[in-house]
Homo-oligomer: A and B are copies of this chain.
């Protein structure tokens, strides 16, 4: 993993990061923070890797639902299996738009289908499926495999912080166990430092043998106000650095920022139509809060020399 900020342009974002890290790591300084308390949390979708035109996990899910549709004629005529089988991505996009407008009908159909699709699968078998997906699946427009869709400057930042005694965690709205098998390779972040949404688990004791299998129900969604809750539950410390890109990260950023010691809340702005995607939908509130409180803004267009590592 690279550990120098070589993909960062000289500018206010890089300066703010370097200044903050020096401030909290200089022994004897008034803002010195013990290594054990140098906790940094990173959102994943849209912060560490590309989330457009759809979250990578959604592609994984659609492929699984399409497989189920192919094997079962009854499912093939019902949503969301039909949309998955026919690669009707618009159906999934519409379900999300309806959700933001307050209508969860299709999102509920989808979530029920998703948890049913992995019901009674062991955590190890799920891990295998995730690894198979990342071995082959590619981004639909960026001409690179999904495993190459991590943002190079962010991978550098994770390494830079790790080198300076920080412990980095991923605090994602995505499924914890979807990220775990590949976060080591992509980001150098091990499974015990992945926080995310969780599907319920059942412990099966079969005498000499025992394992853990997924339930057909969510345990919790790690989004919005749930993020600081899950960060505390997992770490038991309040982060001093947090990076996000959407309204779902506002509570995590605010929880980090609201302390009587130096903190660094960072907001990534998607403003690079050419090299990635430009969008602010779903980030309106957090952009306003960041501006009001003077949080550090990262412009992908201006602050990042490269967005991805060479293919």
A129 sits at the interface (CB 8 A)? no
Within 8 A of B (CB), among A249-297: 251, 254-255, 258, 293
A210 touching B255, Cβ below 8 Å: yes
A191 touching B235, Cβ below 8 Å: yes
Stretch of A45-53, A93-101, A142-150, A224-232 with 4 or more beta carbons under 8 angstroms from chain B: A224-232
- Alpha-carbon distance between A176 and B230 when the two chains are bound, in angstroms: 13
- Alpha-carbon distance between A202 and B177 when the two chains are bound, in angstroms: 24
A228 touching B210, Cβ below 8 Å: yes
A208 touching B258, Cβ below 8 Å: yes
A73 sits at the interface (CB 8 A)? no
B201 touching A236, Cβ below 8 Å: no
CB distance from A235 to the nearest CB of B (A): 5
CB distance from A190 to the nearest CB of B (A): 6
B205 touching A225, Cβ below 8 Å: yes
Interface size of A in residues (CB-CB distance below 8 Å): 36
B203 touching A229, Cβ below 8 Å: yes
Number of copies: 2
Of the listed residues A167, A176, A210, A228, the one surrounded by the most CB atoms of chain B closer than 10 A to its CB is A210
Known pairs A205-B225, A208-B293, A212-B228; A198 contacts B233 (CB<8 A): yes
B236 touching A180, Cβ below 8 Å: yes
- Alpha-carbon distance between A237 and B237 when the two chains are bound, in angstroms: 22
Interface digits, A208-224 against B, CB 8 Å rule (1 contact, 0 not)? 11111000000100000
- Alpha-carbon distance between A269 and B230 when the two chains are bound, in angstroms: 35
A123 sits at the interface (CB 8 A)? yes
- Alpha-carbon distance between A3 and B228 when the two chains are bound, in angstroms: 35
CB distance from A100 to the nearest CB of B (A): 20
Q: Within 8 Å CB of A87, what residues of B?
A: none
B203 touching A258, Cβ below 8 Å: no
Known pairs A190-B36, A258-B210, A258-B211; A205 contacts B237 (CB<8 A): no
B212 touching A229, Cβ below 8 Å: yes
Known pairs A192-B237, A211-B258; A228 contacts B251 (CB<8 A): no
Provide a sorted-by-A list of 13 A–B residue pairs whose CB atoms are within 8 angstroms.
Answer: A176-B233, A176-B236, A180-B236, A191-B237, A198-B233, A201-B229, A201-B233, A205-B251, A208-B258, A210-B251, A210-B258, A212-B229, A234-B234
